[in-house]
Chains A and B, each alone.
Chain A
């Protein structure tokens, strides 16, 4: 059964902390893994990962994929209150007929 599991489900940290969000998956015909940030309305795209071991970085956010162990992590350093959101992980299967979402990690950053 294809599935995407994110952990933790929720997380509360103080500004300046570093957080690591986890996403593990079991998907037939894996094609890519995507990270999204959802604040109010639609999730906004953060990263797309297709190859193992290559870190993608954008400001204080970075992500890496391990296709052998079937997981990805999203790191946020020096967190700010504006990072408070739900972070969604989704895995795309070959043929792009399926996009499997995890339930997300709710991150709350306290001033």
Chain B
């Protein structure tokens, strides 16, 4: 079956630094990738949708200058949390979709970010 990986699985950084998280589709080409943020016992919050080769579409309230998304190829999207602060500490999950809306989204295992 389709596999989506994320790297790193866990990262701890100091306040003010930037952190890059990678999301890869391992055995299929992902036309669209999604980035979510999860809060404990709560729903996933969609942060942005990215299509390969074009700018990401950010959800309302998500700072595009703080959460930089690059979907450089059909198998790789990156999320960079710039100038991280403790309130950015969270679980970030990506998903990838091969086709259009209605196609299955495959979720990555998530990245736990802790900002000290």
Residue B20 at the chain A interface, CB threshold 8 Å:
no
- Majority SS of interface residues in chain B? strand
**B104 engages A45 (CB within 8 Å):** no
CB contacts between A and B, total, < 8 Å: 46
CA distance A99 to B40 in the complex (A): 12
Q: Which of A38, A42, A45, A99 contacts B41 (CB 8 A)?
A: A45
Cα A98 to Cα B106 in complex, Å, equals: 14
Tell me whether A96 and B91 are in contact (CB under 8 A): yes
B10 contacts the other chain (Cβ, under 8 Å)? yes
The chain A residues found within 8 Å of chain B, CB to CB, are 36, 38, 41-45, 48, 88, 90, 96-101, 103-104
Query: What are 26 A-B contacts defined by CB distance under 8 Å?
Result: A36-B43, A41-B46, A42-B36, A42-B43, A42-B45, A42-B46, A43-B43, A44-B43, A45-B42, A45-B43, A45-B44, A88-B107, A90-B107, A96-B91, A96-B112, A97-B9, A97-B10, A97-B109, A98-B109, A98-B110, A101-B95, A101-B106, A103-B2, A103-B106, A104-B104, A104-B105
